Structure 1
Amino acid sequence: MKIGKKLLAKMPENYRNNNITSTSAIDMFMKFGDVESAERIFRSIKAKGTNIYGALMNGYNLNGESWKC
């Protein structure tokens, strides 16, 4: 997960706002149990698509927080 965080930190802003990159980042953080970081990325996304919501909901289920869906 450290590598993933470093990559996100060094990534240019226009790549971080890409829906595919954001979805992958949310998925990564949720798989490692870092729900707060995933939620922070979710909140930073201006145009949210169904894939973004899906990644967040799957992550909540994975981490036993399905009540947040």
Structure 2
Amino acid sequence: MVIGVEQPEGVKEPSILVHGRVNDKEAEFYLILDPASYDEVLRLGIGQQVSGRGVVESENPFIVRKI
């Protein structure tokens, strides 16, 4: 679930703050999106569900890139 629209320090790509599951564990993490997906999140707003596959890019801060 989208809980915020923000970028972690050092990340230039569009990203959102998400509460969800990664590798079957609940977590809050930043999710890097492609520009079209990011625009869709901005249009629909906070609280929406986001699903798909991703790759963990960092564990501190916890950052996942949607693929």
- Bin the TM-score by the shorter chain: under 0.3
More strand by share: 2
Q: Which has the higher helix share?
A: 1
Q: Larger Rg: 1 or 2?
A: 1
TM-score by length of 1: 0.26
